[in-house]
Amino acid sequence: MHMNWERSILISFLGNYLTNNVVAALVALIPASTSGAVVTPQYITYVVLAAIVVALLTWWYLMAVPRSRALMAGLIFGVVGFVVAVLTAFVTGVSGVLTQTGSLSQMVSVIPNFWPFLASWSTLVLLGYWVIPATLVGWLMGRGATAPAPMSDVTC
């Protein structure tokens, strides 16, 4: 399957920026919940708006993909977006420690703290709001498309 990996990574990076900054800024306008619950109106709004942003970016990305390959390309785009988001969080965290302390040993000592971040349920939410909308948009764009013809066994 032919994919434009550079385009996928760049659009995913844009999506990561938009969800972490623009969507988060919009959600900050909602009054904070006073309950001690983890799932608050702000969190739900964030996930819904992030999924909408991912769906729009997936649609933009899939405009250059044949309809017969849209479902798989949407799934791959969602996974690439998730990986880009996780790697961006890692690089941001590590470089932030290095910038604040100026110490490579401090930076290295923080790296093991990243694994509990990955093991949290919020990482599953991140995976969900990247992969589910991207796959859904791929499925919608690929509906009605004919499957590519199989390669025939031609011998010379």
Instruction: For residues 64-85, give the mean pLDDT.
Output: 94
- The helix (H) or strand (E) run that includes residue 60 is helix 41-62
Give pLDDT tens digits for 49-65. Answer: 999 999 999 999 999 89
Instruction: For residues 148-154, give the mean pLDDT.
Output: 56
CA distance 31 to 18: 21
> Which of 134, 111, 118 is CA-nearest to residue 50?
134
| pTM, two decimal places | 0.84
- The two tokens of residue 15 are 């999506």
